[in-house]
Amino acid sequence: MTDLRVHIGVTTLKNPILTASGTFGYGPEFEPYLNLHALGGFCTKGISLEPRAGNPGVRIVETPSGMLNSIGLENCGSRVFLDEMLPKIAAYDTAIIVNFYAHSEEDFVKLAATLSESDRIDALEMNLSCPNVKQGGSVFGADPRLIESLTAAVRKVTKKTLIVKLSPNVTDITVTARAAEAGGADAVSLINTLIGAAVDRRTRRFTLGNKIGGLSGPAIKPVALRMVWQTARVVKIPVIGIGGIATLGDVIDFLLVGARAVQVGSANFVNPGVAQDLVEGLDRYLAERGETLDALIGSVQE
Amino acid sequence: MQRSIVTAIADMMPVAGDCFLMAVPFEPEPLPGQFVMLSFGDGRTDPFLPRPISIFDWEGGMLTLLIRVVGRGTLLLGRQAAGAAVRVTGPLGNSFPDDAGRVCFIGGGIGVAPLFYAAKRSKAKDRSFILGFRSADESYLTGEFSEVAPVRFVSDDGSLGEKMFPHEKLDALVAAGERPDLVVTCGPEKMMAAVHGVAKKHGLRDVHSLESRMGCGIGACLGCRVNMPGASVLVCKEGAVFDGSIFEEKQ
């Protein structure tokens, strides 16, 4: 077995394959389909201070090689997560990364502090960019000054590995990435979904109840790959690549352009066992070539 | 235990009304009312998502799905030939309850699909169907259903069985003294709500299989949540089978 370990902040991941927030439930949903111990880690559904019901109406629609979603961050809230959900996944020998979301700096800080009290949580992933929530999300996600001050404020209350998840719905993602780095983030993860829309020609209405939603799936991979490459060149902290990863080839592409780890997203919906296949595939790929993970990362010829 | 496997289609058979039957080897044995997520197994990313499909039949390791072409995904699935690879994830969701006495299975349109296996597997002393179609031309597998249990057909235009709605037929049967201990339905939401109205009137126990757009079928994407009059439900995880009270406004 090749050494697949990667270091992100104070966390050592056993391998660079993670699952993306919002595509992996709280974890146990996938028990029948894969060995959760095999994963580098998984990001939970985005947790807010209080429970959220999410958006009404149609929440998902398929698009060419992808999907739009407007779930609206439905989640059980931090209290239920810590008291009921976390104990169910605590025994998994894998990194638990809690994705979290709030509407204000005050709530982001409060939530980060609360989550940091749990020894079992390995890392926090700050979601600055959910496109499906009317208040807050896009404001935090696009303004570099806000990102820096918010990251710094959260940094003060947590010793856990702090990952800032970045929105692609900005003019220049390297600017927001640098802001997160300046604020004290241990890593940035990108990209979150691209904002899109779909209409139903028959009814002449928007297909999604929320009208707009986040585009994910293989369709967004070229955009994500470009943004990860640009970001990895300008920040010193690790970059976690996300966007349309479904095959071993996709994983290798992201590692080549400089991602230290990757998150598998909507592909989990198609094949709930795909993340473990990717871990095993990456191990074989490196072993066959006698190559180390470190040598592979960022080795694209420019 | 659920699983997600890539397997080769064993058989494809067109049936009337834009429908087809797809047979695929699949274990384990599902419970009546459960469903599977079906997608292409050849690595293509378009269409991307799997489709929730109810279980028409399962016999000796062979799963049969009755699928109606409703969009591009089902159209392309329908064009697959025996031997083509598909991914099947399941069996998913809860299941229909059973009753030792008299069970009436009521289906409308493609909603008849899960009722064949449900009636076949039921241990009820007395099983019967009420099956509704738009017309005789748009009906399918009527002979197959009749082999499992007696069928009362109804249609919108009277070209098949009686010209009435399924809930009206149930009402007439109860009035005539044929009172089911359990009513199991699947079909358009309006039909199921109307059947619930009749069931409530007569104090019958009724359960219904709901349909919703699904991303994953396993409770991860939360895409299939629907706000029913009685409750907001995550169809894949809490259902797809629900008690009739779901059609009643919450007090």
Per-residue pLDDT at A190: 97
Which pLDDT band holds residue A130 (cuts at 50, 70, 90)?
low
**What interface predicted TM-score (ipTM) does this complex get?**
0.94
- Choosing from B55, B70, B91, the residue where a domain stops is B91
Contacts of A59 in chain B (CB under 8 A): 213, 222-225
The percent of residues in chain B predicted with pLDDT above 90, rounded, is: 97
Same domain (yes/no): B155, B197: yes
Which pLDDT band holds residue A136 (cuts at 50, 70, 90)?
very low
Which pLDDT band holds residue A227 (cuts at 50, 70, 90)?
very high
Same domain (yes/no): B65, B144: no
B12 DSSP β-pair partners: B22
Per-residue pLDDT at A73: 87
The string of DSSP letters for A27-61 reads SGGGTTTS-GGGSSEEEPSPB-SS-B----S--EE
Q: What is the mean pLDDT of residues A54-67?
A: 94
The one catalytic residue among A71, A130, A264, A267? A130
Q: Is residue B194 part of a domain?
A: yes
Q: Is residue B11 part of a domain?
A: yes
Q: What is the mean pLDDT of residues A44-48?
A: 94
Q: Is residue B27 part of a domain?
A: yes
Answer whether A63 sits within 8 Å of B222, measured CB to CB: no
pLDDT digits over B43-71, tens only?
A: 999 999 999 999 999 999 999 999 999 99
Same domain (yes/no): B56, B135: no
Range of the domain at B161: 102-209
Task: Clarify whether A76 is annotated catalytic.
Answer: no
Q: Measured between CB atoms, does B212 come within 8 Å of chain A?
A: no
Which pLDDT band holds residue B251 (cuts at 50, 70, 90)?
low
Per-residue pLDDT at A268: 97
Same domain (yes/no): B125, B202: yes
Mutate to test the interface with A, among B39, B48, B213, B227 (most CBs of A within 10 A): B48
Q: Is residue B81 part of a domain?
A: yes
Per-residue pLDDT at A84: 94
Same domain (yes/no): B82, B139: no
Where exactly are the structural domains of chain A? 6-54+73-194+215-296
CATH superfamily placement of domain A6-54+73-194+215-296 = Aldolase class I (3.20.20.70)
| Range of lowest pLDDT (A100-104, A184-188, A262-266) | A100-104
Mutate to test the interface with B, among A36, A55, A62 (most CBs of B within 10 A): A62
Shortest CA distance from B38: residue in chain A: A270
Shortest CA distance from A75: residue in chain B: B222
* Among A47, A51, A73, A69, CA closest to A60: A69
What is the number of alpha carbons within 13 Å of residue A168 lying toward its C-beta? 24
> Considering chain B, what is the average pLDDT of its residues?
95
| Window 13-72 of A, Cβ < 8 Å to B | 22-25, 29-30, 32-33, 45, 53-54, 56, 58-67, 69, 71
Q: What is the mean pLDDT of residues A68-89?
A: 93
Per-residue pLDDT at A131: 52
Same domain (yes/no): B35, B80: yes
pLDDT digits over B65-103, tens only?
A: 999 999 999 999 999 999 999 999 999 999 999 988 999
Q: Measured between CB atoms, does A174 come within 8 Å of chain B?
A: no
- Choosing from B72, B91, B110, the residue where a domain stops is B91
Answer whether B4 sits within 8 Å of A62, measured CB to CB: no
Q: What is the mean pLDDT of residues A150-174?
A: 96
Count how many domains chain B has: 2
Tell whether the model's pLDDT for residue A173 goes beyond 90.
Answer: yes
The percent of residues in chain A predicted with pLDDT above 70, rounded, is: 96
Q: What is the mean pLDDT of residues A60-65?
A: 96
Smallest Cβ distance to B223: which of A56, A71, A273? Answer: A71
Q: What is the mean pLDDT of residues A274-300?
A: 97
- Choosing from B33, B58, B91, the residue where a domain stops is B91
Which secondary structure element, helix H or strand E, spans residue B205, and what is its range?
A: strand B205-209
pLDDT digits over B116-135, tens only?
A: 999 999 999 999 999 999 99
Cα–Cα distance between A160 and A158 in angstroms, integer?
5
Check: CB of residue B49 under 8 Å from CB of residue B87.
no
Cα–Cα distance between B105 and A69 in angstroms, integer?
35
Shortest CA distance from A272: residue in chain B: B4
Smallest Cβ distance to A67: which of B2, B4, B215? Answer: B215
Q: What is the mean pLDDT of residues B135-158?
A: 95
Answer whether B87 sits within 8 Å of A271, measured CB to CB: yes
Q: Is residue B195 part of a domain?
A: yes
Per-residue pLDDT at A72: 87
Q: Is residue B216 part of a domain?
A: no
Q: Measured between CB atoms, does A290 come within 8 Å of chain B?
A: no
Q: Is residue B47 part of a domain?
A: yes
Cα–Cα distance between A265 and A275 in angstroms, integer?
9
Per-residue pLDDT at A139: 59
Which pLDDT band holds residue B17 (cuts at 50, 70, 90)?
confident
Per-residue pLDDT at A104: 87
In this structure, what CATH number is given to the domain that contains residue B205? 3.40.50.80
Question: What one-letter code names the amino acid at A58?
Answer: V
In this structure, what CATH number is given to the domain that contains residue B51? 2.40.30.10
End-to-end CA distance of chain B: 37
Check: CB of residue B36 under 8 Å from CB of residue B17.
no
Q: What is the mean pLDDT of residues A101-124?
A: 94
Tell whether the model's pLDDT for residue A134 goes beyond 80.
Answer: no
**Helix ranges (DSSP H) in chain A:** 77-80, 86-89, 105-116, 137-142, 144-157, 173-182, 221-234, 248-256, 267-270, 274-289, 293-296
